[in-house]
Amino acid sequence: QVQLVESGGGSVQAGGSLTLSCSVSGSIASTTHRAWFRQAPGKEREGVAAIFTGDGTTLYAASVKGRFTVSQDSAKTMLFLQMNTLKPDDTAMYYCAAATRWGTIWTDSKGYQYWGQGTQVTVSS
């Protein structure tokens, strides 16, 4: 079992920055990769960024590449999402997720076995 708890959401004006954190506990070593997803009202959940637990390889959605940075601490107990140059379109509930096996594209939410409760990010124009 893996437990995930997000924090750091809030309201910010367009052009501003926020950093989301996700505490990871439980069977940390069982995770192959972790990711951040977001879901806006009326829209499907979409993958934002992912990081491989082992070697730290990172992957990004085209919509956030160059603006967002995903990282993890050396103990692999914390996951971060640094978000810069935020836009109103970034407004959504943000979730961290962990997978314990490979097999699906990182943006496929069905490939993740564990999810946090989410933290709201609101960007005003």
Q: Which residue has the tokens 């499907």?
A: 44
Tokens of 18: 């926020």
What is the 8-class DSSP label of residue 28? Answer: G
Q: What is the pLDDT of residue 25?
A: 95
What is the 8-class DSSP label of residue 109? Answer: G
Contact 26, 98 (CB under 8 A): no
Phi, psi of 21 (to 5 degrees): -125, 150
Per-residue pLDDT tens digits for 46-70: 999 999 999 999 999 999 999 999 9
DSSP class per residue in 68-103: EEEEE-TTS-EEEEEE-S--GGG-EEEEEEEESS--
pLDDT along the chain (125 residues), means of 10: 97 98 94 97 96 96 98 96 98 98 93 97 97
